[in-house]
Amino acid sequence: MCGILFALSPGGIDGLSSSFVPCVRERIRARGPDAFGKFQHEVAGWNLEYESSVLHLRGPCESPTIQPHVDDDGNVLCWNGEIWQMGGEAGFDSLQCCNENDGSKLFRILKENDEDVESVLRLIQGPFAFVYYQKSKNTLWFGRDRLGRRSLLYHQEQERFILASVSHGKEFQEVPPGFYAFNLQDNHPSTPIHPFPSAFVPFHLLPLSIEIPISSSIETPLETFYAQLSESLKDRVLTIPSSNESYNNIQQTKIITPRLAVLYSGGVDCGVIARIIHDILPPNEPIDLINVAFENPRFMDTFVNADAADCFTSIPDPYNVCPDRQTGLQGWSELMNVCPGRIWNFIAVNVPYSEALKNKDLVTSLIYPNDSIMDFSIGLAFYFASKGEGVLLQSFDDIQKNHSCSPYKTPAKVLFSGLGADEQLGGYMRHLRAFERRGMEGLDEELKLDIERIPHRNLGRDDRVMSNQGKEVRYPFLDERLMALLSKMPTSSKMRLDLVGGDKLILRELARKLQTPLVGQEKKRAIQFGSKAAKMESGTGRTSGKKKL
C-alpha cells in the first residue's frame, strides 16, 4: 500500500501550493509510514510534481523501495498496488515477495514495452492506482484497476490538475476505474486543461478473459470454487513478509507476531477466509481476528426503558450485546475447536460513543466524495476496526473477563476482508427481491449491476478509511481468476434463493466442508448494523442511510 500525490501545472507554477495540500500530504504519509519521496521536472512547458509514500510489503525485506520510481531516461512511476498475476508475463511470480518489489518490476516492464503501455496495463491482475510519465511519448498515464480497489481522486483548477489517493474532504472526485492518457506535447500549457475527463484519452478496462476450467469429471463446482479461493488466498497470504520472532526470557519461549489480521464478524465470508488461512500459514503463527463493537446510546435506551419497566434485572454490557460481537465470539470458539493448535487472537475493539463522536469529522473527511449517512456508518466501523486496537482474548476463559483482559494492538500491516462474496453469491436482500420479481433473469441482472457499482459504492471509500491507519486491505473474493470462475458457473450452483438459507449457498457448503458449520449458517448482516455503528443518536431510527450528511 502506498499513497500518491501528483500535480500537473504550467511551468513556473507550483502545482502543490493550494491551501489544502498540507492536509492531503499528511494523509498520504499516513498511508505509507515506511518511506516518502518526491520528484519534480518540467516537460514541454509543463511542471510535473510527484510525491509518494510507501507501506513496505514487497521487495527486499531489509529496506523499503523508495518511490517515485525514476530512471535515467526520464520515466517516472508512482505505484500503489499489488500484482498477483500479469497475463502470463514470464517470471512474474507473486509469491517471491522478497526478491523484487512489484512496482520496480512493473516499471521495468513498462520501459521494455514502451510502444504498448496500454497492453501492459490491461494485463495486470490485482488492485492498483498509478501515475506514470512515459518520456518517449511525452505522455502522462494514470488510473485505477477495473474494480477500483485502490482509491485515486482528482481535483482541477484553472492552472493545475491534482491526483491524490485521498482528499482533505472537499472538491475532489473519484477517477473512474480504467486509465487515462494526456499528451503533454499536444496540449500547450498556455491553454487551460479542459475539465476532466474531456482532455484525457480514456481506456476502459473490461473484465479479463481468463480461462478457468469450471469443473472436471472428478471435481464438483464446490471443489473447483474451493481450489480457486485457496489459490487467491495463497497469493495474498504468502506475499506478506514472515512474522517477526522475539524471545521471552522470563518464560523462555519464542514470541511470534501475527503477519495478518482478519476483519472478523463471525459471518460466513470472513469465517471461511480465516479457516483457509489456517491451512496456508505455518501452525506456529498466530492469526489476529478483529471484531468491532460500538456503544450505541439509542440502542442501549431500549434496555434502560425495559429496566425501568422491570423487564430486566440489569442493563447488559453495551459491546457484548452487539450482534457482531456475539457471532464473532461464537465463530472464534468454533475456530479454536476445529484448529486447536493455532493461536487465535480475538481483538475486541470496543468503541465508546464519545470516541466515535471525537472522530466524526475525520471519518467524514476520509470517506469523501462518498457522503451519505450509510457511508459514514460503514466508514466509522472500518476506521476503528482497521486500527486493530482493543482487548485481547486468547482462550474460552477470557470471554467472561472480557474487559479485564490485556490491551492489545495488532502489529499486522495487512487486513483481510470478505467483501465481494455478497455481490457475487446473492447475499443481499435486493437479490432476493429481484429473484422474486423476475426470476433467474432478474437475479442475474442484479448480480451484474452489483459488480459494476462496487468501485463507486465500496472500494474507494474503504481504501481511504482503512489505509489511513497504515494498513493494506486484501479482498480474496475479488481475485480476477475467482471472479472469472464464478461468472461462468451456473447461478444455481452458487445460490438457491428459492430455498431458505440459499443465499451464498456454495460458500455455506464450503464452511460445512471445512468443519465450521456455525459460521456457515450465519445470515448476512451489514457491518454498520452488526457493530451498532449506525444510528447512534436518539431520533435517527427511521433516518434513511441514503440521506446526505
**Does the N-terminal peptide bond of residue 369 adopt cis geometry, omega within 30 degrees of 0?**
yes
Contact status, residue 80 vs residue 128, Cβ threshold 8 Å = yes
Per-residue pLDDT at 90: 44
pLDDT (tens digit, 9 = 90+) per residue, 72-128? Answer: 999 999 999 999 988 755 445 655 555 678 899 999 999 999 999 999 999 999 999
Main-chain dihedrals φ then ψ at residue 404, nearest 5 degrees? -90, 0
Checking DSSP bridges between strand 139-144 and strand 472-474, what pairing results, if any?
unpaired
Could you tell me which residue, 478 or 60, shows the higher pLDDT? 478
Mean pLDDT for the chain? 88
Contact status, residue 112 vs residue 90, Cβ threshold 8 Å = no
**Which numeric CATH code is attached to 2-183?**
3.60.20.10
- Whether 339 is a known active-site residue: answer no
Whole-number Å distance between alpha carbons of 312 and 306: 6
Topology adopted by domain 232-244+255-419+456-483+499-535: Rossmann fold (3.40.50)
User: Cell triple for residue 89?
Assistant: 508475463
Per-residue pLDDT at 208: 58
Contact status, residue 471 vs residue 414, Cβ threshold 8 Å = yes
Going by pLDDT thresholds of 50, 70 and 90, the confidence category of residue 3 is: very high
Contact status, residue 407 vs residue 476, Cβ threshold 8 Å = no
**Strand pairing partners for 6?**
50, 163
Distance set, CA 84 to CA 96, 124, 231 (Å): 11, 8, 11
DSSP calls for 290-340: EEEEE--HHHHHHHHHHHHTTS-SSPPPTTTTSHHHHHHHHHHHHHHHHST
pTM of the complete model beyond 0.75: yes
Could you tell me which residue, 502 or 41, shows the higher pLDDT? 41
Q: Which of 327, 320, 270, 272 is nearest to 300 (CA)?
A: 320
Domains 2-183 and 232-244+255-419+456-483+499-535 share a fold: no
Whole-number Å distance between alpha carbons of 162 and 23: 14
Whole-number Å distance between alpha carbons of 471 and 55: 8
Per-residue pLDDT at 93: 61
Contact status, residue 70 vs residue 40, Cβ threshold 8 Å = no
Per-residue pLDDT at 312: 56
Per-residue pLDDT at 115: 93
Q: Which of 346, 317, 316, 351 is nearest to 329 (CA)?
A: 346
Main-chain dihedrals φ then ψ at residue 7, nearest 5 degrees? -135, 135
Per-residue pLDDT at 286: 96
Is the pLDDT reported for residue 250 higher than 60? Answer: no
Per-residue pLDDT at 91: 47
Q: What are the helix (H) ranges across 359-488? A: 360-367, 373-387, 421-425, 429-454, 460-467, 480-488
pLDDT (tens digit, 9 = 90+) per residue, 341-361? Answer: 999 999 999 999 999 999 999
Q: Per-domain residue ranges for the chain?
A: 2-183, 232-244+255-419+456-483+499-535
Is the pLDDT reported for residue 243 higher than 90? Answer: no
Could you tell me which residue, 522 or 4, shows the higher pLDDT? 4
- The average pLDDT across 239-256 equals 68
Is the pLDDT reported for residue 254 higher than 80? Answer: no
Is the pLDDT reported for residue 486 higher than 80? Answer: yes
Report the percentage of the chain scoring pLDDT > 90: 67
Going by pLDDT thresholds of 50, 70 and 90, the confidence category of residue 540 is: low
Report the percentage of the chain scoring pLDDT > 70: 89
Could you tell me which residue, 245 or 442, shows the higher pLDDT? 442
Number of residues that this document lists for the chain = 549
- The average pLDDT across 129-137 equals 97
The single residue of 2, 78, 97, 339 carrying the catalytic annotation is: 2
Where would I find the beta strands (DSSP E) of 157-244? Answer: 161-164, 173-174, 178-183, 201-203
Contact status, residue 463 vs residue 474, Cβ threshold 8 Å = no
Is the pLDDT reported for residue 339 higher than 60? Answer: yes
Is the Cα torsion angle 235, 237, 241, 242 positive or negative in sign? negative
Whole-number Å distance between alpha carbons of 429 and 223: 27
